Amino acid sequence: MTEQVDAPKGQGLGSILMNVFSSPGEAFQGLRESESRATLWLIPLILMILLASISTYVVLSNDTLKGQVLESRDRAIQKQVDAGKMTQEQADRQKGAMESMGGMFVAIGIVTNVIFITVGLFAAGLFLWLAGKLALKSTAGYGKHLEAYGISCWIGLLGGIVTLLMIIGLNSIYASPGAGLAVYASFDPLSTTHKILASLNIFSVWQAIVIGIGLGKLADKSSTFGIGVALALWVLWVIVQIVLQSIF
């Protein structure tokens, strides 16, 4: 009779949390062979939604910060008018409707964050799985890549906290820990150069590197190879974001 061997349980969440900041390679150690754990992505997801909701409330409850949000929106609407895609009357109605929302503006912002963050997490897991399968020839499934992304999200959470503190401290929605800090005082949301600078966020790059280490571990390849793939995906994502912002 053959004795059944259970899959290893892997590291505790506390060990993973400490290692992801101090020794990322160890944070992903044994992830490929361990049993599936939804907590590895579910807990970061809940915390990201909570942080985004707090950030939205803080920004839209501050008159100066809310004014910057509305100014950015007004400039985007005016760009549509100048391009002939909207009449001035339609633009004025749209601006008036959004300004009359009051507390609903905050609620809509929070709900939008919940949707985008949740969809974004599962989409990120999908793209990492495809990249791992095609570029690194990984045999790990979608669930494991989702767990790897969840582990890396602790870096993003720290970045989100730092960003919120900078926004409050510098009283600007454009303040962030990265190259965008050089132009935050005169940030132009319609400038491609400024959007590129804002994308060069220290924590975003850090998270991409950590994801790359995780990809390497899941595929049993070198960390360097995994980091290269992850950074390529990050650059692609930055380009897609900028293009979508320009269109919409």
d(CA 204, CA 157): 10
What is the identity of the amino acid at 228?
G
pLDDT in tens, 59-71: 989 999 988 988 8
Is 234 within the bounds of a domain?
Answer: yes
How many domains, the chain?
1
Residue 46 falls inside a structural domain: yes
In a domain, 28, yes or no: no
With respect to residue 31, please indicate whether it lies within any of the assigned structural domains.
no
Q: Give per-residue pLDDT as tens, 197-234.
A: 999 999 999 999 999 999 999 999 999 999 999 999 99
- Domain region containing 79: 36-247
6 occurs within a structural domain = no
Q: Does 26 reside within a domain?
A: no
Instruction: Provide the whole-model pTM.
Output: 0.87
The alpha carbon torsion through 26, 28, 33, 34 (nearest 10 deg) reads 90
In a domain, 21, yes or no: no
Is residue 118 in a domain?
yes
